[in-house]
Every structure is written in C-alpha cells, then in structure tokens.
Structure 1
Amino acid sequence: MSLYTPGDDTGSFIIDADMSYIRGEPLRETGHGSQDLDLEITVGEGQLTLRHTIAINSSSIELDFPLHSLAPHSRPYSVTLKATRPNCDRAYTATTQVYHLPKRADGGSVTKVDSLYGGLLVQNKSDDSSPWSPLLPYSFYVSWDGWLKKSLSNVQKFKDQGYNIIHIVPNAGLANQAFNFTELNMFLDKCDEVGLWVMYDMRWTYQNLTSVRDQVNMLKTRKSMLLWYTGDEPDGQGDPLNATRVTYDLIKSLDPWHPVSLCLNCFNFYYEEYSSGADIILSDVYPIAVNTSWSEVYGTPCNTTYGCCGCDDCEGTLDDISVRLDRFVEYQTWIGTGPKSIWGVPMAFGNESFWSRYPTAAEEVTMTMLSVNHNAKGIVMWDYPTTTELERVTSQLSRVLASEEVVRFLLGAPTVALQATGPSKMDVASWRLGTQMVVSILSLQTPAWLSNVSVTLPEGARAVHKVLWGSGDWRLIEGQLVKTGGRGLETDLVIVEFDADQ
C-alpha cells in the first residue's frame, strides 16, 4: 500500500528482480552460477532490517514486514534495498519510501493506493475501525461554472446516476482561477452528506504554490476528499518539466493522506519528468470522429513532428486508447521507478473543434472497457453533461463496473489478456479470484459479424456462471467461450466458474 494507518499490523514490500535490456547494471556471473539474490532491506535509520532470498528474474514478490517497530508520523520512512549474489562483490540497490501515518483526529478521509494492482482503497466512514473497501472510480469531469453550480440538488442527481466520484473543473474566469470557495464549501458539504467522493482539480493554479498550499489546507480534512488533480495536459501545454514534481512534493508535505493525479495528453513528451509528479496518471485519448492527418482547426498537416489534430500520434481508431495505455505502462518499466496506477479518460463530447460528432453509446462503452482491459483502474470521462444517449448508457454501466461484485476482481487480481480466434477483431481480458473469473470481451469492428468466435480459457473452466453485461450468448465448449455472430462494437462481461482444484 502507498500508506499504512492505525489498525494495520503488517505491511509488504513488492520486489521486482526481472531482467532488463534497457536499464540497470550488468549481471555478473558467480563461480557456481547461483540464480538467487540475497536481499537486505533497511527502513528508516535502522528501525527495521529485513533479509530475504529471491530468484533472479522474478517479479511481484511480496515481503511482509511488521509495522509496530515504525512509530506513526506524517513523514515517510526511507527504504533502502541492497541485493547481492553469493560469491559476487557487486551490490544492486533500490530505494523507496513507506508511510505509517497516525490516526486522523480531524475527521478527514484516507485513500490508499494498492501498489501491486493499482486500485484505490477507502473507508466509507471516518471511523478508522471500519473496513477498507476497493473503489473503482467511474465518473465524469464536470465544469463547476455550468450545470453543477446551478443547484445543490444536482449533487444528489449525479450520484443517483451511479457515478461514485465527481471531478470538479475549476473556473479559470475567476480572479483566483479556482472556485468561489463559499459556494464550493456548500457543495462539499453536500458531497459529504450524500457520500460522493471528490476529485479536486487545481489545473489553473497548480504552479502557484501559495494557492496550492491554501487550497490543500482548506480542503484536506473533508471526508469526501478522494484525491488531488494538478496538471491537466502539462505535456501538451509545455509546462516547466519540474512543475508537477514541485507541486507533488508540496502536497505530500501538507496532506500525506491522499494520492495526487494528473492527465497526460501526448504520446511521449517528457513522460518521465511530468509523471514523476503524480501517483496516478490519466490518459485522455479522443479517437472518435477525428481527422488525424489534417488539422481541421489549424489548416495544417499532422505528422510525427508537426501539427495538432486533437489526438497525438493517433490513427483515429479505438486502438489508439489501448496503445497509449500500454505504452504508459511500458514507459514506467523503462524508468524503473515501479508501476503507477493508470486511469482512462474516454471521450463523451463532440461537435466541436477537432471532433465532428459525439460518440455513440456502443463507442462509449467500448472506450471504457478497452481502457479497463488494458489495466485502467479508474474512468473519468470528459465531460458532463453529455448527450441523453451517453448519460443513459454510462449510468447503466456504472451499476455493473463499479459494483462490489465486479470491483473485487478488477482491483484484486492481475489483468490477464486472453486470445480470441475468429474473423472479428477482438480484445479480451480476464481477472481471476479463486474458482471464478471475470472475462471482458470486446469486438472492435464496426460491422456485425456472423461466424464463430472463441476465447481460450485456462484449464478447469466448467460453466458460464453469470452474464454481467452484453448478449449472454456465450457458451462454454471444451474449455473455450464460443459465440456465433454478434453486433459491431459489442461488449460482453461474464463470470466463468472453474473447478476447485484448478
């Protein structure tokens, strides 16, 4: 976890010792060819020392440690790992931090980030004895100075649609480039009352450290506060390369209880520098009804070095979403600082600038589930209000995707891609816990298809237990999910039952 709190007896470190041909130090052979690494982990100034042995080229190894030896305080403990091989004088090192925070005395919330699977954990009450629950955010960006500001009753209406958080976009037209804080606090009171989590946006002010300090200190004790949001496309705006990190360090010094997020727009424009300023990275790829070779706004061509077409280095297909998310995960492995939680920002707007129309309902669901299939642990669409069609389908999907039944899989197990065969272009992912597996099956082609498609499952699959979303026509035949024909851009979400011994 990104932090530990009262009630936690143990924590765990995640150790990756996989081979890399991109970064790291040479792996020297030893006399007897041992494939083990001897680890020594030191926490703080000698408060805790752990020793362990793991295999070279292993990953996601969890090593538990006791928390009682680390006195709770608001500053993180430094952690140093030293790895050596038998009969070899080379030492490999890595560093990180761990928070063991004291009990909150101000009634504020706490949000944990699961460093293994990337999800969020929250407590539904301020009482720190209540259980921690996984939360998969599913919502929209909502402009403060539009629909939201008209009536406090809109807060309840928004939650009643099934959205579990709200991302409020500040008003750049105000002198403080943020909010009317008298009105905002009334809004936050309502969010506290109805149990709607808040994603707080400082896009216009995040480089003004005085303003950031004031806003964080004002709002950090809110029980509806979920996380902070700083840079909105800082790479596309060309913000100073250290801007996001400087603000991140300030926020963490003021509020270690909540994660920090930002949204990157570019395929790769100083990803390492900008992403260093956040725990959670959002990706806003908008590939619907866009011309990716000619800029309709600027009247110029778009290529790898010149021009802006609204979707950086895109082909104008749904694959742009999965490619970008996969690349962000890949960049993190290149950087070597460990994985970060990735969220998707599906397009829910249109008829403006680069985009000639709104997405259809099928496109909206596909963009969302394609993000989830490629390891997004949160969805925040741009933006609300949207069309009646999109409002209806996203409200329906929220009751499935953000449900406890589904979230425990998506945030409690690794995302594993599955192979599909057949004429339709498919994207399939799975999450397994015990004897059950959630399988998400997407058809990425627009025309309907008539022939058979099959998805190969691991051994031991014995029945389709439940259809969560879609047609329900998938059958289990000889260890494969099989379906004959389907709609273009069809999305199916099913639970498969496995034998207990598999």
Structure 2
Amino acid sequence: MSLYTPGDNQGSFIIDADISYIYGEPLQQTGGGHSSQSLEVEILVDEVQLKLQHTVKVNSTSNELDFPLHSLAPRSQPYSVTLKATRSTGGRVYTATTQVYRLPERTDGGSVTKVDSLYGGLLVQNKTSSSSKWSSLLPYSFYVSWDGWLEKSLSNVQKFKDQGYNIIHIVPNAGLANQAFNFTELNLFLDKCDEIGLWVMYDMRWTYKNLTSVREQVNMLKTRKSMLLWYTGDEPDGQGDPLNATKITYDLIKSLDPWHPVSLCLNCYNFYYEEYSSGADIILSDVYPIAVNTSWSVVYDTACNTTYGCCGCDDCEGTLDDISVRLDRFTEYQSWIGSAPKPLWGVPMAFGNESFWTRYPTADEEVSMTMLSVNHNAKGIVMWDYPTSVELAQVTSELSRVLADEEVAGFLLGAPTVALRAIGQQNMDVAGWRVGARMLVSILALQTPAWDSSVTIALPEGARGVSKVLWGSGEWRVVGGQLVKKGGRGLETDLVIVEFEGGH
C-alpha cells in the first residue's frame, strides 16, 4: 500500500525481479539459463532495525513479502527502506531503495486514500457512515463543469450522485481572479458531498504552478471527509509546462497532506513522459479518437504528422484502438524509466460538435471506450465532460451501476488484468480478472458491422459455465472450457462472470 495507518498490523513489500533489456544492471548468463536462477533478498528498514529475508526467482514479478508494522511507530515522515539482492551463485549485489509510510491516526475527521501498489486500485473508508472498514473503490465519473452546471444549484450534487457516479471531478473556473473557485460556494458544495458520501477529485489545473495558491487550497480542503485525491496538471505536456512543475507541486502537496494521492492527465503520445509523470501517483490518459481528422487539422489548417501539427489526438489513427495503444505505451514507459508501476486511469470522450470533433460519440462508442480502457488496465474512469448528451448521460448512468458495484470492483482491483484471445472474428479485445473460482470477463467487438461468425475465447482450465451477465447480450456459453458465441452486433460489449470447478 502507498501508506499504512495505526489500525494496520501487517504490510507487504512487492519485489519485481524481471529481466529488462532497457533498464537495470547486467545479469550474466549461468548454466541452466536465467529461469533457473534465484536471488537472495534482504530488506532493511534502517531506523527500526527491521530485517527481512526472502528468495525470489530471476525474471519473476509481484513477489509479496509480508512484514510486521508494530515496530514502525506512526509518524508523518516515511521510513527509508533498502533492498539488497544477491544471486544464489554469488557475485554481483543488486540494490534498490523505497519508502514506507505509517501515518498517524487522523484526528481532524479527514479521509484517507490508500493506493494498492500491486493491482493499482484505491482503498477508502466511508467517513460519512463513520465506517472503519477499508473497501476497494473503482472511480467511475466525469469531469464536471463548476461554473457551467454545478454552481447553478446545490441540488445538482445530489442529482449527479443519483445517476450512480461514485466520485465527482470538479473543473475550476479560469474566469475568476483566483482561477479556482468561489470558495464560499465551494464549501457549501463540499458540505453536501460530505453529507451524501460523494468522493471529490479536486482540480488545480489553472493554479498548480502557483505554490502559494496550492498551499492555501490544500490546507483548506485536506480535512474534508469526502476528499479522495488531488489533480494538478491537466495536459501539462500538451501545454509545454516547465518539466519540473508537476514534481515541485507534488512534493509540496505530500508535505501538506500525505493522506491522499496526487493525479494528473497526460495528453501526448510521449512528450517528456518521465518528467511530467514524476509529479503524480496516478496518471490519466485522455485520448479522443471519435469523429476526428487525424491527418489534417481543421482548427489550424495544417497537416498533422509525427513531428508537427495538432489534430486533437496526438499520434492517433482515429480509431478506438488509439485508447488501448496509449495505455499500453504508458505502461511500457513506466518500465523503461525503471519506475514502480503507477495506476493508470482512462478519460473517455463524452463531448462533440466542437473544434476538432464533428459529433458526440454514440452510446455504443462510449461503452467501448470505457471498457477498452478497463481491459488495458485502467483502474479509474473520468469522462470529459458533464453535462453531456442525453444519450450518453443515460448509458453512462446505466454502466455506473455495474462498474461502481463492490462485486465488480473486487475483480478489477483484486486480480491482475489478463489478456484473453478471441478466435473467429477480427478486432475483438478481451480481458479477464480471476479471483478464486470466479473470473470476470470483458469482451469487446470493436468492428462496427454486425458479424455472424462463431467466436471462441480460451479460458483457464476448469471453466464450467457463465454464472452472471452484468452487461450485454447474455449469449456467451462455456463449451469445452471455452467461451463460445455465434454472431453479434457491431461495437457489442459483454461483461460476464465465469465459474470454475470448485466454485459455489
């Protein structure tokens, strides 16, 4: 976890010992190959003389090593951790460092948000009901216009929550002198969020480089029971913000409020990813590929290519696959720079009839963009923007009842995302999450024409049947250990739970 609290008795370190051809230190070949090698690992939490020992296989990942927390007295500063790994055959010693937080109990009524470093999800307590239970939260919501909608009526807060969205990302008003909010009105809004249990993603896009303003806003809001996380740079790469701007603000926020993660949204295919991403715990990706000309800019009347031009979707082809390619790239970038994996969130397009985009997405396209993000390991969805079209408001409200459900979050945030292969029809994207004897399977047919071929999806051994249909046609069946279906409509999305032998 990104942090531990006094009520936690045990934590765990995650050790990745995978082989990289891009980053790291040389690993000499020995008899039997890399897969037969192991590393003797020693972990030291220096200040408390906590010493742990473990053995991990070379080229393995997600090795968990439990450790007791009783010797780490709660405090605001993190503890320094050093790892030393020695090959079982002797020789080179590999080292790594990290930090572990065990924070004091909050006495000001404010919330705490933990980030799961293994699966990328958020864990929260329901402060509205004074619950001490930690629950997984899969954020599903919109960026919401403050001066365009929320500010107009306090009742809009309840209306938004009633649609099924579990967080709200409020977009500040750049037209104000402080480029943020009328804080008198905002605090009434936040009182309502506290009352009804609507989590807040607080946006400082216009002010995050003004450290005096950041300090004032964080200190004003950090004790809110509805505070979920901070949001600093909105497309800092596309704006060409100073490369160290996000990290400077990140360090300030962490010094003021270590209880909540920091997020930002990157717009470019790869423009100083390492520098900008260093200023956040969570990275959002906003790829808008619907009804856009990716080769010629209708706004600037110029060509768009790999080095020049802005067409509203950087290095895009103008297909749904742009979304999955970008998320996969961001995952690769994190490994290339030697960084621990950071959770990624998707920002599906929910607007249109403006600048580069000639129309709104259809309902099917909206669901496809969301689930394609989820299939490629997005652990949160925040669409741009609300209010949206009637059609999109309806379908996203329906989908919120599925994705915000505790059962679904248990899969998506409680297991690794595993890509599954569909045979018999091109352009399908399938992923699964297995917990115990059950697997959640998300199936997307990304082609637009209807299709009549038979499709099979290979499953792990022991699959015995579909136990629940959460979204879609309900026509998938388990036959011979595979999911099977004949025919379907274009842009069809199905979400099902498969039972395995030994399940109930």
- TM-score normalised by the shorter chain: which range applies? over 0.9
2:90 aligned residue: 88
1:3 aligned residue: 3
Cα distance change, pair 452–218 in 1 and its aligned pair in 2 (3 A):
same
Cα distance change, pair 298–85 in 1 and its aligned pair in 2 (3 A):
same
Match status 1:427 vs 2:447: no
Match status 1:467 vs 2:474: no
Are the aligned partners of 1:265 and 1:283 in contact in 2 as well (CA < 8 Å)? yes
Cα distance change, pair 360–31 in 1 and its aligned pair in 2 (3 A):
closer
**Which amino acid letter does the alignment assign opposite residue 483 of structure 1?**
K
1:14-58 C-alpha deviation (Å, 9 max, x unpaired): 000011111111113579987121111111424312121211111
Aligned pairs for 1:246-257 within 5 A? 246-257=248-259
1:99 aligned residue: 101
Cα distance change, pair 195–65 in 1 and its aligned pair in 2 (3 A):
same
Are the aligned partners of 2:81 and 2:97 in contact in 1 as well (CA < 8 Å)? yes
* SS of equivalent residue, structure 2 residue 441: strand
1:215 aligned residue: 217
1:315-353 C-alpha deviation (Å, 9 max, x unpaired): 000000000000000111111111000000000000000
TM-score, structure 2 length as denominator?
Answer: 0.97
1:178-198 C-alpha deviation (Å, 9 max, x unpaired): 111111000000000111000
1:440 aligned residue: 442
1:310 pairs with 284, 309, 312, which one?
A: 312
1:365 aligned residue: 367
Aligned pairs for 1:15-164 within 5 A? 15-28=15-28, 35-86=37-88, 88-125=90-127, 130-164=132-166
1:371-424 C-alpha deviation (Å, 9 max, x unpaired): 000000000000000000000000000001110121100000110011101134
For structure 1, the residue ranges without an aligned partner over 5 or more in a row are: none
1:188 aligned residue: 190
**Which amino acid letter does the alignment assign opposite residue 443 of structure 2?**
I
For structure 2, the residue ranges without an aligned partner over 5 or more in a row are: none
Deviation at 1:86, TM superposition (A): 3.8
Alpha-carbon separation, structure 1, partners of 2:30 and 2:306: 46
Are the aligned partners of 2:265 and 2:286 in contact in 1 as well (CA < 8 Å)? yes
1:169-212 C-alpha deviation (Å, 9 max, x unpaired): 00111111111111100000000011100000000000111110
**Which amino acid letter does the alignment assign opposite residue 64 of structure 2?**
E
2:487 aligned residue: 485
* SS of equivalent residue, structure 1 residue 145: coil
* SS of equivalent residue, structure 2 residue 132: coil
**Which amino acid letter does the alignment assign opposite residue 151 of structure 1?**
S
**Which amino acid letter does the alignment assign opposite residue 125 of structure 1?**
K
**Which amino acid letter does the alignment assign opposite residue 346 of structure 1?**
P
Alpha-carbon separation, structure 2, partners of 1:129 and 1:291: 49
Alpha-carbon separation, structure 2, partners of 1:127 and 1:354: 45
Match status 1:266 vs 2:306: no
Alpha-carbon separation, structure 1, partners of 2:153 and 2:29: 68
Cα distance change, pair 122–423 in 1 and its aligned pair in 2 (3 A):
same
1:294 aligned residue: 296
Deviation at 1:149, TM superposition (A): 0.5
Are the aligned partners of 1:109 and 1:126 in contact in 2 as well (CA < 8 Å)? no
2:208 aligned residue: 206
1:14 aligned residue: 14
Alpha-carbon separation, structure 1, partners of 2:117 and 2:470: 28
2:173 aligned residue: 171
Cα distance change, pair 87–430 in 1 and its aligned pair in 2 (3 A):
closer
Are the aligned partners of 2:290 and 2:361 in contact in 1 as well (CA < 8 Å)? yes
1:378 aligned residue: 380
Identity %: 82
Are the aligned partners of 2:128 and 2:195 in contact in 1 as well (CA < 8 Å)? no
Alpha-carbon separation, structure 2, partners of 1:460 and 1:6: 41
Deviation at 1:127, TM superposition (A): 8.2
Deviation at 1:436, TM superposition (A): 0.8
Alpha-carbon separation, structure 1, partners of 2:30 and 2:162: 63
Alpha-carbon separation, structure 2, partners of 1:126 and 1:395: 23
Are the aligned partners of 1:230 and 1:260 in contact in 2 as well (CA < 8 Å)? yes
1:240 aligned residue: 242
Alpha-carbon separation, structure 2, partners of 1:246 and 1:157: 37
Are the aligned partners of 1:318 and 1:367 in contact in 2 as well (CA < 8 Å)? yes
The count of residues paired between Structure 1 and Structure 2 equals 502
Alpha-carbon separation, structure 2, partners of 1:305 and 1:425: 29
* SS of equivalent residue, structure 1 residue 100: coil
1:281 pairs with 259, 269, 283, which one?
A: 283
Cα distance change, pair 30–381 in 1 and its aligned pair in 2 (3 A):
same
Alpha-carbon separation, structure 2, partners of 1:3 and 1:127: 22
Are the aligned partners of 1:19 and 1:56 in contact in 2 as well (CA < 8 Å)? yes
1:112-142 C-alpha deviation (Å, 9 max, x unpaired): 0000000000001278861100000000001
Are the aligned partners of 1:31 and 1:87 in contact in 2 as well (CA < 8 Å)? no
TM-score, structure 1 length as denominator?
Answer: 0.98
Q: After alignment, is 322-331 or 36-45 more displaced?
A: 36-45
Alpha-carbon separation, structure 2, partners of 1:451 and 1:22: 42
Q: After alignment, is 52-61 or 243-252 more displaced?
A: 52-61
Alpha-carbon separation, structure 1, partners of 2:393 and 2:340: 36
Alpha-carbon separation, structure 1, partners of 2:381 and 2:249: 24
Are the aligned partners of 2:48 and 2:71 in contact in 1 as well (CA < 8 Å)? no
Cα distance change, pair 417–32 in 1 and its aligned pair in 2 (3 A):
closer
**Which amino acid letter does the alignment assign opposite residue 3 of structure 1?**
L
Alpha-carbon separation, structure 2, partners of 1:435 and 1:90: 42
**Which amino acid letter does the alignment assign opposite residue 157 of structure 2?**
V
